Structure formats: structure tokens, C-alpha cells
């Protein structure tokens, strides 16, 4: 089965924000890594287009919901292309394709006897599209996430018997690998231990949604509809639009990567819906943290929302990826600070990695006729041991979704190699002819370690990784897989080194 990884399906009330770019970049790096390891990957992303929030946004703009959705969905697609996101499927929940799968899914749940008509009363947050737990304790009746007033709802809705799946969900979340990080898992365990309540899966008075068969005044609750998007995405552009076909293509998902605010939907409601529909539950859910800006929550009312497009235009893809992947531990909250951003890019990428490549390549070209040294002592294993260890740790961390740690392995390898260079001072040694052999060894070791650094950067910083490879002029045996290329010593001795140029520009403080 392919490795199936998903981002959330983003609401189209607005263009992509830094939070959506963050999740999508993480998924992209994992998808690239798995592909490089030789796995078949299905990387799903898309948009969540129904519901009251979208209906109201379109109304405010005085356009039809469908037209609004078309324009924002196109913007998402355009943005992901600009960010070079390697997604395989982009699902739109207002497509006919998706609607058909939602109806099939509903029929399965209904046939399990899990749907009934009831009355839904409660306080609703339109921003979250969610009834809020405990409004009595909230002095303001405001959603803590959106800081907007909750709305009282009292309507006839169809309900899903979530309570029936109490035991199933308990045993699912007992597995420590199912929800990460640990703290988030504990929150879910606590929530489930209070007893699961049935939840409504349809709305009356909401026109912008998928119609429920047999109930002409009802549309599906936007979350019921959207979660099924992970399944409907699988058969996108295929003639056989059935759940069975979708499932055989690549279900269950190996990883739903989402923000911590929507963990309940993914770790509790969705698995129960799937069990009811007779389908497998996802293997893992990671709830990542929230990004703040200069220590403050980002929000329109605060006027401090950081537009990812500005970052993209100003700095390019790789610097932003490096900051988000290396500086924030997946699962923890992260803060975007301009000064830190500039410092990290300059220190890590320009000074440590870029400079290492540049100066070594220059030395090698100068002393060895524009080539990689030819006579190398393969028994000198000091550097190869360091590099092999870094590769091993990197793979272990990437396999376990510790992307920040994997990134740091690459950086630390570069730091260690720079130290080795400084300690050995080939620029001094070369002055004495007797040292010629030693210098060849040192330079080869450094170039070879740089080749490995370039390879390890591929899922993290695809563009920079390519530049490194180009500058090393390495013609790899195309039969070799990425993993095999990570083996020490494959840099061809005596091969031509192209003229070096900086692989990354230093950034200035704005
Ligand atoms: N449409 C639902 C998801 C349905 S999945 C079947 C939704 N969409 S969203 O656009 O509001 O949010 C998408 C993701 O962005 C969520 O995972 C959310 O956690 C994340 N983020 C929103 N603000 C964020 C930050 N400030 N920082 C990081 N992620 C943030 O929810």
C-alpha cells in the first residue's frame, strides 16, 4: 500500500495563511522523504468549501458561494505550485466527485444503524464550525480561538451515534503511536473519558452544503462532509468513483497532519465515522502547534497577520522551509521572528553550509586542476564515521517525524566538517610539498561530506540541495537509489569541479 499523507482541507474563507503553509510544507518534506526512500506516496491536500462560514463570506462579498470557492480554491492551487508543493491530489469538497462519495459514506453509516433524528441545541462557533463544550463557564460566550460571539442554535438535525463507539475509540487511543505529541494525546484521553456524546451531522437553514438524501431541508454538517474528503481524494480523476475503489487505492491514511485545534475531529469523530462505515481508521495523527508572530497570536483584529506570499517573494522557498522545519519542533508552538529568521538563514545556510561548499570547492580547484583530489587514503575513517552517524540519526528522526532533529543532524554535520577543516588548515599545509597527500585526503573528505549534506537536504530544501549537487558536479549512477547514494565514498576521485558561486544569498535585516 502507498504511504498516504494528508494536510487538513483548508477553509476557503480566505487565502492561505502562514499556518496552512506551515502544515503543507511539513507534509511536503515527509512526502519527498518517503518517495526518496523508494516508497509510493499519495500526498493529499485540498479545500473545505461548504458551511456557514463560507456561505457568509460569499454573502459579504455579494457573490455566489460557488464563485467565491472557485476563486479561493484557485488561489490555494496557485500558491501550492509557487511553493513547489509536491502534492498528488487536490480535493475540492464542492466537486460532484466528492459529493458522490459523501453520499455513499453516509449510506454506509446509515446502514450500520448509526443515524437518527434529534434536536440540537447549543452554542455554535461559526469560525470553528463547531458546537462549543461548556458555554456556561464562558463569561463572554465567545469562542476562545476566534474571539467572536457564539451563536445559539436550536434545530432538528440528524445525529451520528458517536456514543456507540466509546470502547472502540478508547482502545484506539490507547495505542501511544496513534496520537502525537503526548500532551495532545492526554487531552484526547481526558475528553474521551468523560463519555462521548452523539453529534449532529446535518443542518437545516444552511443551503451551501451537500444535500442529505431523503431529507430535502438538510445539508450535511461541514465536518462530516470535509473529513470524507480524505477518502474521496483517492479516486480523483478516476472513472470508478466508488468508496470501494478509493479504499483499494490507498486507505487508511498513514498520517493526518493537522493543527492542535482540530484534533478531536480527527482523533475521535473521524475514526468513529470510519468504523461505522466499515472502513479502517488512520494509522497516525499528529497535532502540530500554532505559529505566533514576534510572540503574539496572529489575527486580523491585531493587524499582525504575516502574509506567506510576502515571505516567499522576499526570501524564496528554501529559507522559509528551513525556518519552519528546523527551528520548530513538530508538535510544539512556534514563533516567527524576523531577526531570528535572518540570523538562522545566514548562520546555517549561508555561513555554515554554503561557505563550506564554496571554500572547499575553491581550494580543490586551485590546488588540483579544477578537480576533486585523485589520490585519497580510504583508510582515513574519521570523517566518514561522523557522516555515517549523521545519516543514521537523520533517517531515524525523519522516520519518526522529528523533522527538526533530522534537520539539525545535517546542520551539525556541516558544523563538524567546518571544524575539521579549521583544525587541519589545509591552506597552511599546502605550502609544504610533503603535505600534498594529506591535503588531498582532507579536501576529499570535506567534499564527500558536502555531497552527503546535499543529499540529506533534498526533502527539506529541494532547491538548495540541487544547487549543491550541481556545484559538486557529481554525476551519480542513476541506477542508485537516494538511500544508496548516501553511502560514503561515492564522490568520484579526480572528477571535474564546476566553478563555484554562492548557493544562497545572505539576508539583510528589514
Ligand atoms: N477546514 C478545516 C479542516 C478540515 S480537515 C477535513 C479547518 N480549516 S482551517 O483552514 O481553518 O485550518 C487549517 C489548519 O490550519 C488547521 O490545522 C489549523 O490548526 C491550522 N492553523 C490555523 N492557524 C494556525 C496558526 N496560527 N499556526 C499553525 N497552524 C494554524 O480547520
Q: What is the mean pLDDT of residues 344-362?
A: 97
What percent of the chain stands above pLDDT 90?
82
Q: How far is CA 165 from CA 108, 130, 152, 225, in A?
A: 16, 20, 28, 20
Q: In angstroms, rounded to a whole number, what is the distance separating the alpha carbons of residues 456 and 61? A: 46
Cβ neighbours of residue 346 closer than 8 Å, sequence gap 6 or more: 506, 507
Cis peptide before 184 (omega within 30 of 0): no
| pLDDT, position 142 | 82
CA of 258 to the centre of ligand 1 (A): 7
Residue from 6, 7, 9, 10 whose mutation best tests the ligand 1 pocket (most atoms within 8 A of CB): 10
Higher pLDDT, 127 or 34: 34
Helix (H) or strand (E) holding 32: helix 18-36
Give the model confidence (pLDDT) of 298-345 as tens digits. 877 678 888 999 999 999 999 999 999 999 999 999 999 999 999 999
Give the model confidence (pLDDT) of 55-90 as tens digits. 889 999 999 999 999 999 999 999 999 999 999 999
Sheet holding 211-212, edge to edge: 202-203, 215-220, 211-212
- For the Cβ of 265 lying below 6 angstroms from any atom of ligand 1, the answer is no
| pLDDT, position 136 | 57
What's the pTM value of the predicted model, to 2 decimals?
0.95
Is the predicted pLDDT of residue 381 greater than 70, yes or no?
A: yes
CA of 7 to the centre of ligand 1 (A): 9
Question: Of 214-223, 232-241, 266-275, where does the model show the most confidence?
Answer: 266-275
Give the model confidence (pLDDT) of 90-108 as tens digits. 999 999 999 999 999 999 9
| pLDDT, position 137 | 57
CA of 19 to the centre of ligand 1 (A): 7
Residue from 223, 262, 274 whose mutation best tests the ligand 1 pocket (most atoms within 8 A of CB): 262
Is the predicted pLDDT of residue 476 greater than 80, yes or no?
A: no
Ligand 1 atom at minimum distance from 259 CA: 19
Q: Which residues pair with 160 in a beta bridge?
A: 115, 199
User: In a 10 Å sphere around its CB, with 0-12 CB exposed, 13-18 middle and 19+ buried, how is residue 94 labelled?
Assistant: buried
The count of C-alpha atoms lying within 13 angstroms of the C-alpha of 149, restricted to the half-sphere facing its C-beta, is 3
9: phi > 0 → left, psi -120 to 50 → alpha, else beta; which?
A: beta
Q: In angstroms, rounded to a whole number, what is the distance separating the alpha carbons of residues 173 and 189? A: 7
| pLDDT, position 134 | 62
Grid cell for residue 190: 481526558
CA of 223 to the centre of ligand 1 (A): 13
Amino acid at each position: 500500500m502507498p504511504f498516504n499523507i494528508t494536510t487538513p482541507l483548508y477553509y476557503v474563507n480566505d487565502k492561505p495563511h502562514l499556518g496552512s503553509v506551515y502544515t503543507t510544507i511539513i507534509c511536503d518534506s515527509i512526502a519527498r522523504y518517503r518517495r526518496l526512500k523508494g516508497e509510493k506516496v499519495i500526498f493529499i491536500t485540498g479545500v473545505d468549501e461548504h458551511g456557514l462560514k463560507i456561505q457568509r463570506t460569499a454573502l459579504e462579498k455579494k457573490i455566489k458561494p460557488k464563485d467565491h470557492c472557485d476563486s479561493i480554491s484557485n488561489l490555494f492551487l496557485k500558491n501550492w505550485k509557487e511553493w513547489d508543493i509536491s502534492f498528488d491530489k487536490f480535493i475540492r469538497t464542492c466537486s460532484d466527485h466528492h459529493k458522490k462519495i459523501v453520499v455513499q459514506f453516509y449510506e454506509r453509516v446509515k446502514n450500520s444503524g448509526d443515524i437518527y433524528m434529534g434536536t440540537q441545541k447549543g452554542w455554535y462557533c461559526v469560525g470553528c464550525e463547531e458546537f462549543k463544550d461548556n458555554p456556561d463557564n464562558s463569561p463572554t460566550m465567545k469562542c476562545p480561538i476566534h474571539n467572536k460571539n457564539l451563536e445559539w442554535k436550536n434545530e432538528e438535525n440528524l445525529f451520528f451515534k458517536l456514543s456507540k463507539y466509546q470502547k472502540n475509540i478508547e482502545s484506539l487511543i490507547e495505542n501511544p503511536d496513534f496520537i502525537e505529541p503526548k500532551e495532545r494525546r492526554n487531552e484526547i484521553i481526558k475528553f474521551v473519558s468523560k463519555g462521548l456524546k452523539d453529534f449532529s451531522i446535518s443542518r437545516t437553514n444552511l443551503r451551501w452544503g451537500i444535500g442529505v438524501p431523503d431529507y430535502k431541508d438538510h445539508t450535511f454538517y461541514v465536518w462530516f462532509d470535509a473529513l470524507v474528503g480524505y477518502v474521496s481524494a483517492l479516486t480523483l480523476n478516476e472513472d470508478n468513483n466508488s468508496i470501494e475503489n478509493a479504499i483499494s487505492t490507498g486507505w487508511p491514511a498513514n498520517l493526518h497532519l493537522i493543527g492542535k485545534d482540530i484534533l478531536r475531529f480527527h482523533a475521535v469523530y473521524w475514526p468513529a465515522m470510519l468504523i461505522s462505515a466499515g472502513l479502517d481508521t488512520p494509522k497516525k495523527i499528529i497535532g502540530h502547534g500554532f505559529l505566533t508572530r514576534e510572540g503574539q497570536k496572529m489575527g486580523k483584529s491585531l493587524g499582525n497577520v504575516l502574509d506567506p506570499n510576502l515571505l516567499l517573494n522576499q526570501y524564496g522557498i528554501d529559507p522559509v522551509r528551513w525556518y519552519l522545519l528546523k527551528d520548530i519542533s513538530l508538535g510544539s508552538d512556534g514563533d516567527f521572528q524576523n531577526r531570528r529568521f535572518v540570523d538562522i538563514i545566514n548562520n546555517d545556510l549561508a555561513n555554515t553550509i554554503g561557505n563550506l561548499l564554496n571554500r572547499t570547492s575553491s581550494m580543490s580547484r586551485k590546488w588540483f586542476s579544477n578537480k576533486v583530489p585523485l589520490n585519497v587514503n580510504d583508510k582515513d575513517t574519521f570523517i566518514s564515521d561522523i557522516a555515517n552517524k549523521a545519516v543514521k540519526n537523520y533517517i531515524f528522526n525523519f522516520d519518526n517525524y522529528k523533522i527538526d532533529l533530522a534537520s539539525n543532524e545535517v546542520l551539525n554535520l556541516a558544523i563538524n566538517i567546518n571544524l575539521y577543516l579549521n583544525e587541519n588548515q589545509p591552506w597552511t599545509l599546502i605550502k609544504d610539498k610533503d603535505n600534498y597527500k594529506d591535503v588531498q585526503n582532507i579536501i576529499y573528505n570535506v567534499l564527500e561530506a558536502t555531497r552527503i549534506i546535499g543529499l540529506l537536504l533534498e526533502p527539506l530544501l529541494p532547491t538548495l540541495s540541487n544547487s549543491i549537487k550541481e556545484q559538486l558536479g557529481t554525476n551519480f549512477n542513476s541506477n542508485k537509489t537516494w538511500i544508496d547514494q548516501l553511502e560514503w565514498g561515492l564522490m568520484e576521485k579526480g572528477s571535474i569541479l564546476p566553478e563555484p558561486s554562492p548557493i544562497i544569498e545572505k539576508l539583510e535585516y528589514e
